[in-house]
């Protein structure tokens, strides 16, 4: 009998039912992820492929070699796909964007959208800044910042005030 994971899990921990690995994590999918992580359309397999996979692996006993292999394949493919998502977010045009995005699970889709927005902001900022020459603050009088003895005017005032304070202290002590 098949039932959703969220429904079967409570029964499984009480040993009323046994859990089998869902088809979306079978050997064929794992081999495809190993061969070329970006070639696998995760959206078709499961909208939350990684979240569900990691949740399931956290809930299940990882002592079996199959579970260990699935967990490692999830980690490796997530890392590889994340690198590719970053590259695509900063370098693709809008035509390629929809083709790539159709293969993402929801987690990857959110990451891609966030990175794409940042890439467009960065590109817009670079284009706006490239036409402007850097300007110095004209209000500052950079040539007359120091007094004749090399100290700033503020330092001189502080020194004078501290001399007055010393005299007041001497008057009180005598």
Nearest C-alpha neighbor of 5 from the set 56, 49, 45, 48: 56
Residue 63: both structure tokens together: 């002592």
Q: Determine the Cα–Cα distance for residues 81 and 73; give it in Å rounded to an integer.
A: 12
142, part of any domain:
no
32, part of any domain:
yes
CATH assignment at residue 48: 1.20.58.2050
152-170: pLDDT as tens digits: 444 444 444 445 555 554 4
Mean pLDDT within 86-100 = 76
95, part of any domain:
yes
Compare 130 and 65 and report the one with higher pLDDT: 65
27, pLDDT greater than 80: yes
149, part of any domain:
no
Mean pLDDT within 108-124 = 90
Question: Residue 24 is part of which domain span?
Answer: 5-126
Cα dihedral 16, 17, 18, 24 in deg (nearest 10): -150
State how far Cα 173 lies from the chain centre.
64
* DSSP label of 152: B
Residue 139: both structure tokens together: 């209000």
133, part of any domain:
no
111, pLDDT greater than 90: yes
159, part of any domain:
no
Nearest C-alpha neighbor of 61 from the set 7, 1, 12, 5: 12
Helix ranges (DSSP H) in 16-105: 27-35, 42-45, 49-59, 65-91, 94-101
Give the lowest-confidence range in 52-56, 87-91, 105-109, 167-171: 167-171
Number of domains in the chain: 1
139, part of any domain:
no
108, part of any domain:
yes
Nearest C-alpha neighbor of 30 from the set 10, 7, 53, 8: 53
Name the range with the highest mean pLDDT among 4-18, 21-35, 60-74, 121-135.
21-35
Give the lowest-confidence range in 41-45, 66-70, 77-81, 107-111: 66-70
Mean pLDDT within 10-17 = 84
Q: List phi, psi (to 5°) of 5.
A: -55, -45
Q: What is the mean pLDDT of the chain?
A: 76
82, pLDDT greater than 90: yes
98, pLDDT greater than 60: yes
């Amino acid at each position: 009998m098949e039932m959703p994971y969220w429904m079967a899990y409570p029964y499984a921990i009480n040993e009323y039912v046994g859990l089998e690995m869902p088809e979306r994590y079978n050997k064929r999918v794992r081999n495809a992820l190993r061969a070329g992580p970006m070639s696998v359309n995760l959206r078709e397999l499961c909208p939350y492929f990684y979240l569900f996979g990691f949740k399931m692996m956290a809930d299940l006993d990882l002592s079996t070699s199959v579970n260990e292999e699935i967990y490692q394949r999830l980690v490796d493919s997530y890392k590889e796909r994340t690198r590719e998502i970053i590259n695509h977010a900063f370098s693709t045009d809008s035509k390629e964007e929809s083709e790539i995005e159709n293969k993402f699970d929801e987690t990857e889709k959110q990451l891609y959208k966030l990175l794409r927005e940042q890439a467009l902001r960065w590109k817009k900022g670079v284009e706006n800044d490239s036409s402007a020459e850097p300007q110095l603050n004209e209000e500052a009088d950079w040539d007359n910042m120091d007094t004749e003895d090399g100290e700033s005017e503020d330092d001189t005032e502080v020194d004078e005030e501290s001399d007055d304070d010393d005299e007041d202290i001497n008057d009180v002590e005598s």
